A and B are shown apart, each in its own frame.
Chain A
Amino acid sequence: MPDEQYALEARGIVKIFGNHVALDAVDFGLRAGEVHALLGENGAGKSTLIKILTGAYQPDGGQVLADGAPIHLDNPQQAQTHGIGTVYQEVNLLPNRSVAENLFLGHQPTRFGLVDRRKMERESRGILRRYGLEIDPSSELGAYSVAVQQIVAIARAVELSGKVLILDEPTASLDRNEVERLFEIIRDLKARGLAVVFITHFLDQVFAVADRVTILRNGKLIETRALDAMSRTDVVRLMLGKDVAFSGATGVEDARPMGDVLLDYSQYGRKRSVHPFNLTIHKGEVIGVAGLLGSGRTEMARIMFGADAADEGEVSIAGTRTTIARPTDAIRHGFGFCPEDRKAEGIFGDLSVRENIIIALQGKLGWFSALNRDEQMEIAGRFGESMDIRAASLDMPIKLLSGGNQQKVILSRWLATDPAFLILDEPTRGIDVGAHAEIVRTINRLRDEGLALVVISSELDEVVAYSTRIVVMRDREMVAELNGENINPGVIVQAIANHRDEELA
C-alpha cells in the first residue's frame, strides 16, 4: 500500500533542546487496530516523541497528522479532542475521589446545573463492565489496587478520546496476573479498532501483545517493522546497537584463586521490585550486572544496600547472618553505593567538594567525633590527588564540576570510609572519555586490592572489560550468570534477549 492511511502519523519530527538533538527526522505511523510498541534505551527519544504526539511539546520540524490531515497540538487537552488519550506510568488519577468521578471529572452529566450522580454512576458501571471490572463506582478510587486504578485510567482515556491510546510503561508496577489482564484489555481495544502505542522495557511483553515495533536510538529512527518477522535478539541488537557477532574482549583472566566469600545473598528479594535472587560475592571480584533499563538492575542494587528493605530471603556477611534494612546498616558493614541518578541521589550540589567527600565517613563516625577542618582537608586532598579530581578548589560547590569529576568525588566519598564492598550503578554514564578511563582504572585497581564490587552498566564492552563474573537481569529477575569464556557482549545480548522459558545457550 503506497498511500497508507495512518490513524496518527508523525513525519520527519525534529526536536532540539539547546544544542542537543533529541529527535532527528523521526517518522512514526500508527494504524487503527494495531498495537505498536515503541522501544529504545534511556535517552533514545521515546518520551520526547510521545510528548509531541500528546501536545506537551511542540516539534521544531516535521508535522503530526491525524487520518492524513495535518493537526496542530498545543496542549494535552487539544490532543484529547483529536482522539488521542494517554495513560502514564504513574497513575494520574485522584485516589481521594470516587471511581465514577475519576472517569467523568470535567465531563460529569448535570441536571439543573448540579451533577447527576445517579446517572454518572450508572454510566460508570456500564463502562467498567466493558473492562471486566465489577466494582462499586461510588467507592473511593484509592481503596483499589494499582492495577485497578490503571484500568480505570485506561477507561477514562478511551472514553474521552477513543481513537489513539498511548500507554507509557503501564506495566511497571503490576504483577504478572495483572499484566495479563491488562493485555486482554489491550487486545480487546485493538479489536474495537483503536490504535495503541505501547511503551515498555519488557521484551516479553512486547512480543506478547504488539503487532509492530518502532525502535529509536539516540534520537534517530532505527527501524519500524512487523514483529513476527523479528527475533528477540534482533530487537535487542537494534536497541543497543551491538552486533551479536561481535566478540572482541573477553572477561578478566580468572587465573588468580578466588578470594574468600564476603557476602552471600540467598533468595533475597522484594515484592513488586526484584524477584528473589542468589548471589555470592567474593573478595577481589567485580560482578558486572547487565540488562536493559527497567530490568531490575537498580532495584537489585538498592536492596543490596538497604536503600529499599528486602522482604524475603537472607544475607550473610563472612558467614554470619545479618540484616540490612537501612543504608546505615550497610555502611556499618563497610558497604558503599554510588547511585545511578548522580544529581538527585549522589551529590549535595551546594556543598563543597571537600564536604561531599567526607560526608559518608563523618556519617559513619557519628555525631560526637567530628572531623576538624584540617582532617577534612587532608582526606579530601588525598583523594583529590589519587582520583585526579579536576577542581579549581576543593572548597568550590560540587555542582560546578563536570559529571565525570562529580562521579570521582562520590567514589572518593565511599573509598574514604575504607569499604569492603562497593555497588556502582552506571558509574560511567554521561561522563567524558578521560574520566571514564579513570573510573574504569579505579575499578580494576580496587579489585586487585581485594575489594568486592558490583557494577551495573549499559556499556557491554565496558562491563566485559572489568568483570570477573556477569549476572544478567531481565523482567526483575536474575536470569543468567556468566563467567569465563562466556563473558563477551554477544552472549550477554543473547541472555538479555532470551525468552524466559528457553534455556540459555
Chain B
Amino acid sequence: MSRSLRPLVATAVIFAIAYALAVMQFPSMFSTRVLGNFLTDNAFLGITAVGMTFVIISGGIDLSVGAVIGFTGVLVAVLIAWAGWHPLAAFALSLAVAASFGAGMGLAVHYLQVPAFIVTLAGMFLARGGASVITQDSVPVNHEFYDWISDLIIRLPGGGRLSFIGLLMVAVFIVGALVAHRTRFGSYVYALGGNPVSASLMGVPVARTTIGVYMVSSTLAALAGIVFSLYTSAGYPLAAVGVELDAISAVVIGGTLLTGGYGFVLGTFIGVMLLGLVQTYIIFDGSLSSWWTKIVIGALLFLFIVLQRLIFAASAQGEKAS
C-alpha cells in the first residue's frame, strides 16, 4: 500500500471502530436520523475543510476561514434584511467578495513571500473586524427563499432527513476530490506542496496556483458562511469563531500531511465525520461537558500527527535499505 494511503485507512478504521462502539452503547445512534443530522450539522465545517485541504496540500495554511464565515453571514443577512436584496444576489456578491479576498491573500503569500500563517492571520482580523463594523448584533433573516430551501428535504426510511445543505456539502466534497485528483490544477497543488523549487523548474505556474488555492479556500469559506446563514437563519459577527482550527484538525485527522504534498479530499470527509461523531456521542451521553469534544479532538490530532511521523519515518528507512 502506498504510504500516503496509510493515514487515510487508519482514519477510516478508527471512525468505523468509534462508530461501532458508540452504537453498542447507544443503539439509536445507528439510524438514518442520526446520519442525516451528521451531514446537516457539519455541512459548514465540511465545506470549509475542503478548501483547507487544498491549502494544506499546497504547503500553506488559512487561518481566515472562520472569520470569512462570520463576515459572509453578516453580509448576507444585512443585504437581505436591511437592503432588501434577493438572497441569491446576496450569495453571489458575498462569494465574489470572498474570492477577491482570497486572491489578495494569495498574492501576498506569493509575491511578498510572507508566510501564509501571517498573511491569513491578518486576513482573519480584517474579516472579523469588518463583520463587527457592519453590525455588533445578530441580524435575523426572514425570507421565503430561506423557508423554501429548508423545506428541500429528502426523507429517508427510518425517519432520517437529508437536507439541502447536507447534500451541498457532499457535492462540494465530490467536486473537490475530482479537482484535487483529476485535474492539472490539482496536480499543481500537490507539486507546490511537494517542492516549490522543483515545481517551478518543471513549469508549474506557481503564482497562479498559489493565488488559486487561497481563492478556493476563501470562496468555500464564504459558501460555508451561506450554509451557516441558512442553518441558523441569522448573521452574527462572532459566528464560527475557531472554526479554522476545527477545519485544520479535520484535514489532519483525515490523513493530510500538515507540511504539504500528501493528502486526500475523501480523508477530510472522514475527518469531519469523526469530529461530528464525537460531538453526537457527547450529546447522547448527556452527562459529559461539551468541552470533552475538544479534549477528544486534541487527543485524536496528536495521535494522527504521531502516526504520520511514524509512517513517513518508517518508509524513509525502508527506502534506504532497499
Interface residues of A (CB under 8 A from B): 76-77, 80, 88, 92-97, 101, 105-106, 108, 110, 113-115, 117, 139-140, 142-143, 145, 156
| A101 cross-chain contacts in B, Cβ below 8 A | 187
Give the CA-CA distance A115 to B180 in the complex, in Å.
Answer: 11
Give the CA-CA distance A411 to B4 in the complex, in Å.
Answer: 48
Instruction: Name the residue in B178, B188, B198 with the highest tally of chain A Cβ atoms < 10 Å from its Cβ.
Output: B198
B261 at the interface (CB under 8 A from A): yes
Instruction: Identify 11 residue pairs between A and B in the complex whose beta-carbon atoms are under 8 Å apart, listed by A's number.
Output: A92-B197, A92-B198, A94-B194, A95-B195, A96-B190, A96-B195, A96-B262, A114-B178, A140-B3, A143-B315, A145-B319
Give the CA-CA distance A106 to B205 in the complex, in Å.
Answer: 9
Total A-B residue contacts, Cβ distance less than 8 Å = 69
**Quick check: B182 and A117 within 8 Å, CB to CB?**
yes
From A93, which residue of chain B is reached at the shortest CB distance?
A: B198
Supply 18 further A-B pairs (C-beta < 8 A) apart from A96-B193, A106-B202, A110-B184: A80-B203, A88-B201, A92-B195, A93-B198, A94-B194, A94-B261, A97-B191, A101-B187, A105-B187, A105-B188, A106-B203, A113-B183, A114-B178, A114-B182, A142-B319, A143-B3, A145-B319, A156-B202
**Quick check: B197 and A94 within 8 Å, CB to CB?**
no
**Quick check: A94 and B195 within 8 Å, CB to CB?**
yes
From A114, which residue of chain B is reached at the shortest CB distance?
A: B182
User: Which of B3, B178, B184, B199 has a CB less than 8 Å from the CB of A94?
Assistant: B199
Give the CA-CA distance A97 to B2 in the complex, in Å.
Answer: 11
From B261, which residue of chain A is reached at the shortest CB distance?
A: A96
| B197 cross-chain contacts in A, Cβ below 8 A | 92
Number of contact residues on B: which range applies? 20 to 34
The distance from the CB of A150 to the nearest CB of chain B, in whole angstroms, is: 13
Interface residues of B (CB under 8 A from A): 2-4, 178, 182-184, 186-188, 190-191, 193-195, 197-199, 201-204, 261-262, 315, 319, 322
From A138, which residue of chain B is reached at the shortest CB distance?
A: B2
The 5 closest A-B pairs by CB, nearest first: A96-B194, A96-B261, A94-B194, A114-B182, A92-B198
Give the CA-CA distance A402 to B186 in the complex, in Å.
Answer: 49
| B193 cross-chain contacts in A, Cβ below 8 A | 96
Main secondary structure of the interface of B (DSSP, over half): helix
The distance from the CB of B1 to the nearest CB of chain A, in whole angstroms, is: 11
Assuming A110-B184, A114-B183, A140-B4, is B190 touching A94 (CB within 8 A)? Answer: yes
Assuming A113-B183, A140-B3, is B198 touching A94 (CB within 8 A)? Answer: yes
**Quick check: B198 and A115 within 8 Å, CB to CB?**
no
**Quick check: A77 and B203 within 8 Å, CB to CB?**
yes
| B188 cross-chain contacts in A, Cβ below 8 A | 105-106
**Quick check: A106 and B184 within 8 Å, CB to CB?**
yes
Give the CA-CA distance A305 to B184 in the complex, in Å.
Answer: 48
**Quick check: B194 and A97 within 8 Å, CB to CB?**
yes
Give the CA-CA distance A219 to B195 in the complex, in Å.
Answer: 33
**Quick check: B4 and A94 within 8 Å, CB to CB?**
no
Give the CA-CA distance A96 to B199 in the complex, in Å.
Answer: 12
**Quick check: A92 and B201 within 8 Å, CB to CB?**
yes
From B316, which residue of chain A is reached at the shortest CB distance?
A: A142
Give the CA-CA distance A142 to B4 in the complex, in Å.
Answer: 11
| B322 cross-chain contacts in A, Cβ below 8 A | 145
Give the CA-CA distance A77 to B262 in the complex, in Å.
Answer: 26
**Quick check: B2 and A115 within 8 Å, CB to CB?**
no
Assuming A114-B178, A142-B319, is B184 touching A95 (CB within 8 A)? Answer: no
Give the CA-CA distance A247 to B202 in the complex, in Å.
Answer: 50
| A145 cross-chain contacts in B, Cβ below 8 A | 319, 322
| B315 cross-chain contacts in A, Cβ below 8 A | 143
| A96 cross-chain contacts in B, Cβ below 8 A | 4, 190, 193-195, 261-262
| A94 cross-chain contacts in B, Cβ below 8 A | 190-191, 194-195, 198-199, 202, 261
| B199 cross-chain contacts in A, Cβ below 8 A | 94
**Quick check: A106 and B204 within 8 Å, CB to CB?**
yes
From B57, which residue of chain A is reached at the shortest CB distance?
A: A96
Give the CA-CA distance A143 to B322 in the complex, in Å.
Answer: 9
Give the CA-CA distance A398 to B186 in the complex, in Å.
Answer: 47
| A156 cross-chain contacts in B, Cβ below 8 A | 202
| A110 cross-chain contacts in B, Cβ below 8 A | 184
Give the CA-CA distance A93 to B319 in the complex, in Å.
Answer: 17
| B201 cross-chain contacts in A, Cβ below 8 A | 76, 88, 92
| A77 cross-chain contacts in B, Cβ below 8 A | 203
Give the CA-CA distance A115 to B197 in the complex, in Å.
Answer: 23
**Quick check: B319 and A143 within 8 Å, CB to CB?**
yes
| B3 cross-chain contacts in A, Cβ below 8 A | 140, 143
The distance from the CB of A74 to the nearest CB of chain B, in whole angstroms, is: 14
Instruction: Name the residue in B184, B186, B204, B322 with the highest tally of chain A Cβ atoms < 10 Å from its Cβ.
Output: B184
Instruction: Name the residue in A88, A93, A110 with the highest tally of chain B Cβ atoms < 10 Å from its Cβ.
Output: A93
Give the CA-CA distance A94 to B198 in the complex, in Å.
Answer: 7
| B204 cross-chain contacts in A, Cβ below 8 A | 105-106
The distance from the CB of A428 to the nearest CB of chain B, in whole angstroms, is: 33
Give the CA-CA distance A77 to B193 in the complex, in Å.
Answer: 21
The distance from the CB of A35 to the nearest CB of chain B, in whole angstroms, is: 23
Instruction: Name the residue in B191, B199, B202 with the highest tally of chain A Cβ atoms < 10 Å from its Cβ.
Output: B202
From A110, which residue of chain B is reached at the shortest CB distance?
A: B184
**Quick check: A105 and B178 within 8 Å, CB to CB?**
no
The distance from the CB of A379 to the nearest CB of chain B, in whole angstroms, is: 40
Assuming A97-B191, A139-B2, A143-B319, is B182 touching A92 (CB within 8 A)? Answer: no
Give the CA-CA distance A95 to B197 in the complex, in Å.
Answer: 13
From B318, which residue of chain A is reached at the shortest CB distance?
A: A143
The distance from the CB of B190 to the nearest CB of chain A, in whole angstroms, is: 6
The distance from the CB of A437 to the nearest CB of chain B, in whole angstroms, is: 42
Give the CA-CA distance A94 to B315 in the complex, in Å.
Answer: 16
Give the CA-CA distance A92 to B178 in the complex, in Å.
Answer: 27
**Quick check: A97 and B187 within 8 Å, CB to CB?**
yes
The distance from the CB of B153 to the nearest CB of chain A, in whole angstroms, is: 32
Instruction: Name the residue in A88, A105, A115, A143 with the highest tally of chain B Cβ atoms < 10 Å from its Cβ.
Output: A105
The distance from the CB of B82 to the nearest CB of chain A, in whole angstroms, is: 41
The distance from the CB of A246 to the nearest CB of chain B, in whole angstroms, is: 43
**Quick check: B183 and A105 within 8 Å, CB to CB?**
no
Give the CA-CA distance A150 to B198 in the complex, in Å.
Answer: 13
From B191, which residue of chain A is reached at the shortest CB distance?
A: A94
The distance from the CB of A127 to the nearest CB of chain B, in whole angstroms, is: 16
**Quick check: B2 and A105 within 8 Å, CB to CB?**
no
| A76 cross-chain contacts in B, Cβ below 8 A | 201, 203
Instruction: Name the residue in B3, B203, B315 with the highest tally of chain A Cβ atoms < 10 Å from its Cβ.
Output: B203
| A117 cross-chain contacts in B, Cβ below 8 A | 182
| B183 cross-chain contacts in A, Cβ below 8 A | 113-115
Give the CA-CA distance A168 to B262 in the complex, in Å.
Answer: 29
The distance from the CB of B321 to the nearest CB of chain A, in whole angstroms, is: 11
Assuming A114-B182, A139-B2, is B190 touching A97 (CB within 8 A)? Answer: yes
The distance from the CB of B192 to the nearest CB of chain A, in whole angstroms, is: 9
